[in-house]
Chain A
Amino acid sequence: MRNYQSILILKPDLDEAQVEQSIEKITSIISKFGGAILKLDNWGKKRLAYRVKKNKFGYYLNIYHTCEQGNVPALEREYQLYDLIIKYLVIRLEERDIERVMSKAAEAAEKAESEAKESVTAEKTEGAAKEGVVAEKTE
């Protein structure tokens, strides 16, 4: 079992539901080859640096996953046959690469959490300030 990173570009004219569906399909493809998804990033619609199959935009998906060693060519073939994927790239990751990715993700999540807490407290203080203003007006 090795770690891999798949970057997939989906057709730009999909809506949210279709993107969700294709993510499910891709998950099933990966699990078919004995792999599991470790992390999935949906980057949304991005402008491509050059035209790919006449498309100027594309939906980017960045997936960190595991896969059975001999199955990668078959996985790539499956990506090729899936009509919503216009371009793909599969990269093998060393142990330290995946560790770095995961620690980075954990850090980002922690940061987001603390920021969320901060914003909540900020809102509270703001609300309190507003109440104070209202109270002053009524007086």
Chain B
Amino acid sequence: MKNPTKKKRNLFTQKICRFCSDKIQFIDFLDIKLLKPLISERGKIVPSRISGNCARHQRQMTEAIKRARSIALLPFSEEH
């Protein structure tokens, strides 16, 4: 029996990469306004399966977020 609570995701609904649609070539790690929506409330990086970013941009963005973290522009985790 199929689980009625689990809806089958439509494979044809494609999410759009926000960097591709904005035609952003280079993700600057100092551009906090750009990166802020891509981390969760706990400070985690949102996976591409949720944000819909393409692999190339997800990779660039991850690097940018990690750099921003190391210079205290973005949090590693929630502030305690």
Contacts from A to B (Cβ < 8 Å): 7, 9, 48-52, 58, 62, 87, 89, 91, 100
Nearest B residue to A56 by beta-carbon distance? B79
CB proximity to A under 8 Å, residues B9-48: 26, 30
Q: Is the CB of B79 within 8 A of A50?
A: yes
B76: A residues at CB distance < 8 A: 49-50
Residues of chain B with a CB closer than 8 A to A9's CB: 71-72
Contact of B72 among A48, A62, A91, A100 (CB under 8 A): A48
Nearest opposing residue in chain B for A41, CB measure? B30
Shortest distance from the beta carbon of A92 to any chain B beta carbon, whole Å: 12
Residues of B35-69 at the interface with A, using a CB-CB cut-off of 8 Å, are 67, 69
Main secondary structure of the interface of B (DSSP, over half): loop
Q: Are B75 and A49 in contact (CB under 8 A)?
A: yes
Interface residue B3 (Cβ < 8 Å from any Cβ of A): no
The 5 closest A-B pairs by CB, nearest first: A48-B72, A49-B75, A89-B71, A49-B72, A7-B71
Contact: B75 with A89, CB < 8 Å? no
- The answer to the question of B70 belonging to the interface, with a C-beta cut-off of 8 Å to chain A, is yes
Give 22 A-B contacts (CB < 8 Å), ordered by A residue: A7-B71, A9-B71, A9-B72, A48-B72, A49-B69, A49-B72, A49-B73, A49-B74, A49-B75, A49-B76, A49-B79, A50-B75, A50-B76, A50-B79, A51-B79, A52-B72, A87-B71, A87-B72, A89-B67, A89-B70, A89-B71, A91-B67
